Structure 1
Amino acid sequence: MKRTVGHSDVTVGVLDGPVAIGHPDLAEARMSILGSGGARSSITGSQSCRHGTFVAGVLFARRGGAAPGICPGCSSILVPIFGEHAEATPDRLASAISAVVRAGARLVNLSAGPQSLSSNTEHKLELALDFAARHGVAVVAAAGNQGMLGSSAITRHPAVIPVVATDASGRPLTWTNLGATAGQRGLAAPGAGITSLSPDGGTVTWSGTSVATALVSGALALLWSVFPSVNAAQLRQAVTWPAQRGTLVPRLLDVRTAYASLARHAR
């Protein structure tokens, strides 16, 4: 983080709840809103707005404030996909993924999964993620907080980095979802007791895979800012290689090692 605050050429698509863009710690953030749902950022009491504002703070809040503010120099496209609660329909999520890719996102942060999937809606999500992969977009997605073993159409997709949440000691939280896909090519990141922005202008402390996912997305945005010539596959490989087998628990995010790997590739 000391090397860069992120570059404006790296655009992060945030598919989440509406964001209270008037928060003082977001005053200098390079944010645009895609879709009519952006007007709902004024609903500061909704769970979806609290969630979206929290995630935005992890990524884009000013450095030196209460929130992590990992990549405030990057550009962002906010796509409000949640209703009153922090959940999205599969159709809405699939459309949002395609739309944010068309709008120029290079990396997509997806901190919450959709409602239950039918075979038809699962196929739509797979097509949207295929579209993102063809356009060189990396997708970082939360594994979920149901304490389950398994995967979903999102976390199984090869363009996606699934993220599980850990405590301060690096142990997975008891309610984080785990699975073979996450264990093989996913990442674990801190997700317990993280403080970020609240829509009321203050801060709030949360835990969960949404938190960990935003931390991973921010780290990848910084790496891409320092090494703009690498593609999405090279970036994924730098943070998840070598692939693990026979484990349900992914490796911890290691930005230092990923940086060294990308530096060697960039020579």
Structure 2
Amino acid sequence: MDSVASLMARSAGAADLRVGLVDGPVMVGHPGLSRAKIKWSCPMDVAERDADDVAALHATSTAGVLVAGRRSGALGICPGITLVTRSVFRSPAARSAGTATWIELADALVELADAGARIVNMSLSLAAGTSKEHRAVQDALDYVAAHGVIVVAAAGNEGTIDSTVVTRHRSVLPVVAYNRQGRPGRMSNIGRSIGQRGVGVVADGLMSLGAHGTLRAFGGTSAAAAVATGALALILSELPKTTPEELISAMKGAPSHRTSVVPPLMNAWRAFESLLAARR
């Protein structure tokens, strides 16, 4: 987290930078988000302040890592940017279960690219999908890649060695949660595409926004992905002409031919310095 703190000391993020959030509905009335610039296109993208379902809590905690006020008790890495939130839970039952469909994910990715997002954060539990549904997500990822969007995806917390259509895609930066000893968390998913294309982020001990205007502990790959997204947002705010390929390469800080199933630990400040030096 020290490397992220160095970026936070330099910038709060640019207001004209849009970061998409594919998640549940955000409790936009939470006092920790009182000064955040949050946009949405559908009433189902936001939740009431006293919501306590799984989807709303998760989305609000993720939003807190990104755009909460820095004195709120949540991390608030990039409170200056504009967050565009799109819930993939389109029914009360889906919200309570916290499980999204592949088609909703595909639709959300396309909508956020069309809304001008340059980074999209996603950390979802997805229902089993058909090959046709997987193809729809593949097509959506191709679409966002063509629009210059980076998708930051939580690797998942099932403790498996696996890869998916998401983690294999060139536009995606998969993120694994690391512990304070610099090793992947016991429950973090790893795999060949995750090791080759992703990064690890220390996410132990984070607090973020919770129900009823309070704070709550927030961890795992969801928190790790949000930290990576926030770091990318600060770098793009400072270096807006950086391409997705340059950003992903700098964040990994290692050649792309890695064979390990475990990704390198992210050093956001080093990534920023290397990109800055390349432009001098």
Normalized against structure 2, the TM-score is what? 0.92
CA deviation after TM superposition for structure 1 residue 46, in Å: 0.6
> Where do 5+ consecutive residues of structure 1 fail to align?
none
Partner of 2:173, secondary structure, is strand
Residue deviations 1:21-40 (CA, integer Å, cap 9, x gap): 11111111010113331254
Partner of 1:251, secondary structure, is coil
Paired residue for 1:237, among 249, 254, 258?
A: 249
C-alpha root-mean-square deviation of aligned residues, in Å?
A: 1.3
Task: Name 1:264's counterpart in structure 2.
Answer: 277
Length, aligned pairs only: 267
1:213 paired to 2:225:
yes
CA deviation after TM superposition for structure 1 residue 231, in Å: 1.5
CA deviation after TM superposition for structure 1 residue 65, in Å: 2.7
In the alignment, residue 168 of structure 1 is paired with which amino acid? R
Task: Name 1:28's counterpart in structure 2.
Answer: 35
> Where do 5+ consecutive residues of structure 2 fail to align?
1-7, 90-94
Task: Name 1:188's counterpart in structure 2.
Answer: 200
Residue deviations 1:135-191 (CA, integer Å, cap 9, x gap): 000110011111110111111101000001011222111111000111111010022
Partner of 1:53, secondary structure, is helix
Task: Name 1:226's counterpart in structure 2.
Answer: 238
Query: For 1:77-88, what aligned pairs fall within 5 Å after superposition?
Result: 77-82=84-89, 83-88=95-100
In the alignment, residue 160 of structure 1 is paired with which amino acid? V
What CA distance in whole angstroms lies between the structure 2 residues aligned with 1:190 and 1:226?
23
Check the 8 A contact 2:38/2:82 in 1, yes or no: yes
CA deviation after TM superposition for structure 1 residue 43, in Å: 6.0
Task: Name 1:165's counterpart in structure 2.
Answer: 177
What CA distance in whole angstroms lies between the structure 2 residues aligned with 1:184 and 1:39?
35
Residue deviations 1:176-233 (CA, integer Å, cap 9, x gap): 1000111111010022331100131010002211010000000000000010111211
Query: For 1:3-42, what aligned pairs fall within 5 Å after superposition?
Result: 3-42=10-49
What CA distance in whole angstroms lies between the structure 2 residues aligned with 1:139 and 1:99?
13
Check the 8 A contact 1:190/1:211 in 2, yes or no: no
1:75 paired to 2:112:
no
Check the 8 A contact 2:66/2:230 in 1, yes or no: yes
Paired residue for 1:59, among 66, 91, 100?
A: 66
1:153 paired to 2:145:
no
What CA distance in whole angstroms lies between the structure 2 residues aligned with 1:183 and 1:172?
11
Cα 1:24–1:40 change in 2 (3 A) is closer
